[in-house]
Amino acid sequence: MVDTDFCLGIIDKEQFIDFNAEYAQDICLEIEEDNFRLTDDEARKIIHKISRCSTITEFQNLSIEKRDKFLKLLRNQGLSIRQISRLTGIGFNIVRKF
């Protein structure tokens, strides 16, 4: 099935063994980020930092312009649509616009 003489004609046995013993530092599909999702506690801190709202009700009572501005900033900070919706009480479809 395999022509070993042909293979060994290209590279000798010792070189073949050395080549296969080398450590490869290839990066293929590995994810380099350990945490690509924020925890809810981290997300709450970001929401408070950006909006200065300490409760869901405060966030919901913001003017539409301010609310929309904050939603866009929250998405840019890495919060997911569902997470923003869950933690602010704003509907999923509204958050999804941004």
Q: What is the pLDDT of residue 78?
A: 87
Q: What is the pLDDT of residues 45-86, one digit of tens each?
A: 999 999 998 899 999 999 999 999 999 999 999 899 999 999
Q: Does 89 score more than 70 pLDDT? A: yes
Q: How confident is the model at residue 33 (pLDDT cuts 50, 70, 90)?
A: low
Q: Where are the domains of the chain?
A: 40-96
Average pLDDT over residues 25-51: 80
> DSSP state, 29?
S
Give 79's contacts (C-beta < 8 A, 6+ positions apart): 38, 43, 46, 47, 87
Burial letters 61-93, b for 16+ CB under 10 A, else e: ebeeeebbebbebbbeeebebebbbbbbebeee
At what angle are helices 40-51 and 64-76 packed, to 10 degrees? 130
Q: Does 92 score more than 90 pLDDT? A: yes
Q: How confident is the model at residue 30 (pLDDT cuts 50, 70, 90)?
A: low
Is pLDDT larger for residue 82 or for residue 27? Answer: 82
Q: Does 25 score more than 80 pLDDT? A: no
Output the six-digit token pair for 52: 């200065």
